[in-house]
Chains A and B, each alone.
Chain A
Amino acid sequence: GENVGLHLPTLSVQEGDNSIINCAYSNSASDYFIWYKQESGKGPQFIIDIRSNMDKRQGQRVTVLLNKTVKHLSLQIAATQPGDSAVYFCAENGGGSNYKLTFGKGTLLTVNP
């Protein structure tokens, strides 16, 4: 079946560097995407979302890029801080059902001080 996946399972960066986390999706009908941050023992925390009629969206220190041509999503974190260390998931709403959110595999981001 169609799924959402990630290229890199782990990413280690130095404090202050920029981080880029990637996500590939295969469902061309997906029209809404969300990035979540999940710290150990906690539920997923919303970071930023983007709809398929956009290719870029910016938040505070974060930017999401969507390339529908190659079905690729990325999360950029500027000036990464130790508090950014967590697992990051991309998730997609497949369009067929307004209520079903499917998660990618996740990337563990480690920020070294």
Chain B
Amino acid sequence: DTEVTQTPKHLVMGMTNKKSLKCEQHMGHRAMYWYKQKAKKPPELMFVYSYEKLSINESVPSRFSPECPNSSLLNLHLHALQPEDSALYLCASSQESGKFGYTFGSGTRLTVV
């Protein structure tokens, strides 16, 4: 299995809703990432987990809450989002060193209404 699987593919949520994005990989990668991508822009790093521990938080607002239940799963919990948070949310994983095998999922297209 050489894929990163993200669910759901599309999500529409209201500003008072609570939702979660899910990411799964079975490549044995020990680093997992969340990126945010706005239209016509490059992906921007949000969080990095290394060995199931949060190692990088790029000053992301607390309405985004990541969770890494185990080495294969990564969640992003969403609460009280704003319309400007609408974007494509990408999950990625890489081997321990971060030098090899960066693999991205297809993303979740999030719309906040």
Minimal beta-carbon separation of B11 from chain A (angstroms)? 14
Find out whether the CB atom of A93 lies under 8 angstroms from the CB atom of B48.
no
* Interface hits, B1-60 → A, CB 8 Å: 4, 6, 31, 33, 40-45, 48, 50, 55-56
Tell whether A106 pairs with B42 under 8 Å between CB atoms, given A42-B106, A51-B99, A99-B55: yes
Minimal beta-carbon separation of A36 from chain B (angstroms)? 8
Q: Helix, strand, loop or mixed for chain B's interface?
A: strand
Find out whether the CB atom of B45 lies under 8 angstroms from the CB atom of A100.
yes
Minimal beta-carbon separation of A84 from chain B (angstroms)? 18
Chain A proximity mask over B86-113: 1 for CB below 8 Å, otherwise 0 = 0000101010011110111111010000
Minimal beta-carbon separation of A32 from chain B (angstroms)? 5
Chain B residues near A98 (CB, 8 Å)?
97-99
Chain B proximity mask over A92-113: 1 for CB below 8 Å, otherwise 0 = 0100011111111110000000
Minimal beta-carbon separation of A106 from chain B (angstroms)? 6
Closest partner residue, chain A, to B95 (CB atom):
A98
Task: For chain B, give the interface size range.
Answer: 20 to 34
Tell whether A100 pairs with B48 under 8 Å between CB atoms, given A43-B107, A45-B104: yes
Find out whether the CB atom of B42 lies under 8 angstroms from the CB atom of A43.
no
Chain A residues near B103 (CB, 8 Å)?
46
Interface residue A77 (Cβ < 8 Å from any Cβ of B): no
Minimal beta-carbon separation of A62 from chain B (angstroms)? 17
Find out whether the CB atom of A105 lies under 8 angstroms from the CB atom of B56.
no
Find out whether the CB atom of A46 lies under 8 angstroms from the CB atom of B99.
no
User: With the chains together, A109 CA to B28 CA distance in Å?
Assistant: 33
Closest partner residue, chain B, to A32 (CB atom):
B99
Extra pairs beyond A41-B106, A49-B100, A98-B99 (18, CB < 8 Å): A32-B99, A41-B109, A43-B4, A43-B104, A43-B105, A44-B43, A46-B104, A89-B43, A93-B99, A97-B56, A97-B98, A98-B97, A99-B50, A99-B94, A101-B33, A103-B44, A104-B42, A106-B41
Smallest CB-CB A-B distances: 9 pairs: A103-B42, A98-B98, A43-B104, A99-B98, A43-B106, A99-B48, A44-B104, A43-B107, A32-B99
